[in-house]
């Protein structure tokens, strides 16, 4: 896609979108079974149609859509071509696109991932990208630099909803001479990364904190408000978390939360009216 000029910081753009449309983010997760349920072909054309229907239902109703990259990669070149088209179509419809790719590497390799996913001139130029800090938070520096350069954002895995993640994320360690959990250290370092965005309503370096694990932050002394990071919360709806659990679990950080819902909305399809109804219902529930 072509860029008309430098984009404002992602955090500022996300804050505007959330102010206008609320805190719901709609996932674009083309499971093979979902394609079959929707009567779509199990190929690139089916993926494009699936994405187009979700974008049509989401535009002017939510601010953000989140394609799950793995479900496109499994189709090879055809899948990635479909993903590139979906990203462009969503952005043209006024939606922010969060590419859920969970990239993480070191040095020039991390810089290459960041260029591929955050540069708006590239085929997969999304507005934000999920990244993994578990090669050391400093390994994300090239991605953070690219995010600042391109007005893009990152969502750093911090306290995820999968139970096995807690073995690592809640392990105790030492950071700057102080004992903390691994997740707590990530949150602190993300706050430092957001110092360059301190004049914005939200930082551009966000965190992934599961809807079903947010309460663990408070239990382990982790302040999710520090640095004003946007907080991506998967786990709402089909995965079991309710809106009330989200509000309670995130506490004072609730205004920063972008709530992701995929299956909870997608299983309402394929009729457009049913998708819209599911989106509107979730938006209302989260208000």
Report the catalytic residues: 102
Q: In residues, how long is the chain?
A: 287
Enter the tokens of residue 268: 């309402």
Q: Give strand pairing partners of 241.
A: 236
CB 40 within 8 A of CB 50: yes
Give the whole-angstrom CA distance, residue 268 versus residue 262: 10
Match 């946007």 to its residue by tokens. Answer: 230
Do the Cβ atoms of 62 and 21 come closer than 8 Å? Answer: yes
Helices vs strands, H then E, count in the chain: 13, 10
User: Cα(44)–Cα(57) distance, rounded to whole angstroms?
Assistant: 20
Q: End-to-end distance of the chain based on CA atoms, in angstroms?
A: 34
Report yes or no: 98 and 123 within 8 Å, Cβ to Cβ.
no
What CA–CA distance (Å, rounded) separates 232 from 157? 9
Residue with tokens 């995820």: 160
DSSP H/E element including 272: helix 272-286
In sequence order, the β-bridge partners of residue 27 are 66
Distances (CA, A) of 20 to 121, 166, 169, 231: 27, 34, 34, 17
């Amino acid at each position: 896609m072509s860029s008309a000029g430098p984009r404002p910081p992602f955090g500022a753009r996300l804050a505007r979108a959330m102010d206008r449309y609320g805190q719901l983010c709609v996932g674009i997760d083309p499971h093979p079974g979902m394609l079959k349920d929707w009567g779509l072909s199990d190929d690139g054309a089916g993926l494009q149609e699936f994405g187009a229907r979700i974008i049509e239902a989401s535009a002017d109703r939510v601010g953000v859509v989140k394609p799950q990259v793995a479900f496109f990669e499994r189709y090879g070149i055809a899948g990635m071509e479909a993903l590139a088209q979906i990203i462009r179509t969503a952005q043209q419809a006024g939606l922010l696109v969060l590419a859920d790719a969970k990239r993480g590497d070191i040095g020039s390799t991390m810089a290459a991932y960041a260029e591929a996913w955050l540069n708006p001139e590239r085929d997969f130029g999304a507005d934000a990208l999920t990244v993994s800090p578990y090669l050391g938070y400093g390994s994300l520096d090239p991605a953070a630099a690219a995010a600042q350069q391109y007005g893009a954002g990152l969502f750093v895995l911090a306290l995820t909803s999968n139970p096995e993640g807690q073995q690592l994320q809640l392990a105790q360690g030492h950071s700057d001479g102080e004992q903390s959990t691994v997740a707590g250290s990530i949150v602190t370092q993300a706050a430092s990364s957001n110092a360059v965005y301190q004049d914005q309503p939200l930082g551009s370096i966000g965190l992934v904190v599961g809807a079903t694990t947010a309460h663990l932050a408070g239990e382990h002394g982790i302040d999710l408000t520090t640095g004003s990071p946007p907080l991506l919360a998967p786990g709402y709806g089909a995965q079991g978390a309710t809106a009330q659990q989200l509000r309670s679990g995130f506490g004072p950080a609730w205004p920063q939360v972008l709530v992701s819902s995929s299956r909870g909305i997608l299983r309402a399809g394929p009729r457009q009216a049913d998708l819209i109804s599911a989106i509107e219902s979730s938006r209302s529930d989260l208000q």
